[in-house]
């Protein structure tokens, strides 16, 4: 497990960040502006916090035990990247609508870039389900 931790430390940190954001969203939901479209305003509700938490825990388990059969790594990376992108866009739009600049979209943007760079550096055989192509 230590070997997998050092090999997948980028995914471990992304998973921990996702777990922390899931807990924060579950405890302090409804932080986005109510003038946003309903689809983006839902991203900080308790069910989405549970989704962030679930994806983070599964990604953490996947990273620590390094299993990647049936393209599970690809699905988890896509889910994580999509969740971070939607969260970044929703908070940036909330700042735009309220004419207020906060640091939250920038922090989420850095995490989103980290997710996509980590996905780019991920070995292709793990993304394809383990077969050597």
Q: What is the pLDDT along the chain (133 residues), one digit of tens a residue?
A: 777 777 788 889 999 999 999 888 888 766 665 666 666 667 777 888 899 999 999 999 988 887 777 788 889 999 999 999 998 998 888 888 888 888 989 999 999 999 999 999 988 777 777 655 4
Q: Do the beta carbons of residue 48 and residue 26 sit within 8 Å?
A: no
Task: Measure the CA–CA gap between 118 and 66, rounded to whole angstroms.
Answer: 15
95/113 Cα distance (integer angstroms): 20
Q: Answer yes or no: are the C-beta atoms of 90 and 104 closer than 8 Å.
A: no
pLDDT of residue 35: 63
- pTM for the model stands at 0.83
Residue 62's CB is within 10 A of a number of other CB atoms, namely: 22
| Number of other CB atoms surrounding residue 1 within 10 Å | 7
């Amino acid at each position: 497990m230590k070997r997998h931790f050092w090999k997948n430390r980028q995914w471990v940190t992304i998973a921990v960040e996702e777990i922390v954001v899931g807990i924060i969203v579950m405890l302090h939901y409804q932080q986005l502006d109510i003038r946003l479209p309903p689809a983006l305003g839902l991203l900080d509700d308790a069910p989405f916090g549970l989704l962030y938490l679930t994806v983070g825990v599964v990604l953490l388990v996947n990273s620590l035990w390094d299993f990647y059969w049936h393209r599970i790594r690809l699905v988890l990376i896509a889910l994580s990247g999509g969740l971070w992108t939607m969260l970044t866009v929703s908070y940036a739009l909330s700042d735009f609508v309220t004419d207020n600049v906060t640091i939250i979209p920038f922090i989420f943007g850095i995490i989103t870039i980290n997710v996509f760079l980590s996905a780019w550096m991920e070995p292709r055989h793990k993304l394809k389900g383990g077969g050597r192509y």
